[in-house]
Structure 1
Amino acid sequence: MSELPALPVTFRPSRTRAVLVSTGVAILVVLTTVVMLLEQLGPGERLSFILTGALIFGVLLMLARPKVVADETGVTVVNIASSRRLAWAEILQVNLRPGDPWVFLNLSDGTSLPALGIQPGIAKQRAIEDARALRALAEARSTGHPEEHQG
């Protein structure tokens, strides 16, 4: 990679996020519209349908949450139900192998952290480019000479 991305940079599966959010909105709107058109339903039944649509929308929003944010001091990995802040020195390797559902970060404590913010699902080429950019940033920042690599 010839030039590193400017920091801060956010990696997220934009197409997947767009599909999840628009699907959630569509489900909520359709359920609410249908329930209001069905005259035989009482207020309690209508409310339960609308709340079900809102719950589905909420779950889809949670699935759209993952991202990886890289800045001068490290990386924040936001997954579906958790978030973790890492210093650059903690990241030993950034992996996205063929068949992997998302990027895995090999860490200095011997563990591996999934980074769902970079996933090849709908946009495989974009995920590969993002993984390469994060890998290049991690390699540049872990050497202790980040000023040499700023573009």
Structure 2
Amino acid sequence: MSESAARAEAPALPVTFRPTRTRAVLLGVGLAMFTTITVIALMLERLSTGERISFVFTAVLLSSVLVLLSRPKVVADDGGVTVVNLTTKRRLEWAQILRVNLRPGDPWVFLDLSDGTSLPALGIQPGVARQQAVADARALRALAESRGTGAHDN
């Protein structure tokens, strides 16, 4: 891809990539689960206060896991990219990103970095919305190519 073509396809900055459908499902299920367990805890008359608290505590823990799973995103701005995965957050300068990869069968985008490592970017994942993930990967690739030392690879 030529440099001018990469610039033409690159979205305006700042831009955030995240699996919105997956996020909506996870947060919706988490809210429904928390509400259901809490209502059941309050409706069961035979439960003691401690048992009710343990029901609500369990609901909070389960919902928290789903909130954690909905966390991934990739934020691109003029200075570089911030990759937020489940429990980690990493800031990269554009020059550190050599290649943006989303090959068939990959669960998410991988960023090949100048230090020889590869960083998974869970914020772009083709699971539920494959076409959106492919479009997001292409947009991030175009940004990396136009702003850094990125190279093209499918």
Report the TM-score when normalising by structure 2. Answer: 0.91
Q: Which moved more, 1:61-70 or 1:2-11?
A: 2-11
- Overall identity of the aligned pairs, in %: 66
Asked if 1:41 is matched to 2:84, the reply is no
Of residues 104, 115, 136, the one that matches 1:109 is 115
Query: In the TM superposition, what whole-angstrom CA distance separates every residue of 1:39-90 from its partner, at most 9, and x where no partner exists?
Result: 0010000100100000111111010000000000100000000000000000
In structure 2, what is the Cα distance between the partners aligned to 1:109 and 1:3? 27
Q: Which runs of 5+ in 1 are unaligned?
A: 144-151
- The one-letter code of the counterpart of 1:107 is L
- The one-letter code of the counterpart of 2:123 is G
- The one-letter code of the counterpart of 1:8 is P
In structure 2, what is the Cα distance between the partners aligned to 1:83 and 1:26? 28
Of residues 88, 91, 98, the one that matches 2:94 is 88
Of residues 130, 135, 147, the one that matches 1:129 is 135
Query: In the TM superposition, what whole-angstrom CA distance separates every residue of 1:92-148 from its partner, at most 9, and x where no partner exists?
Result: 0000000000000000000000000000011000000000000000000015xxxxx
What aligned pairs does 1:41-80 form with structure 2 within 5 A after superposition? Answer: 41-80=47-86
In structure 1, what is the Cα distance between the partners aligned to 2:126 and 2:77? 23
In structure 1, what is the Cα distance between the partners aligned to 2:51 and 2:104? 47
Report the TM-score when normalising by structure 1. Answer: 0.93
In structure 1, what is the Cα distance between the partners aligned to 2:146 and 2:23? 29
Check whether the contact 2:9–2:142 (CA below 8 A) recurs between aligned residues. Answer: no
Structure 1: which 4+ aligned runs deviate by more than 3 Å?
none
Aligned to 2:147: 141
In structure 2, what is the Cα distance between the partners aligned to 1:8 and 1:133? 12
- The one-letter code of the counterpart of 1:134 is L
How much has 1:8 moved relative to structure 2? 0.3
Of residues 6, 22, 28, the one that matches 2:12 is 6
Q: Which runs of 5+ in 2 are unaligned?
A: 150-154
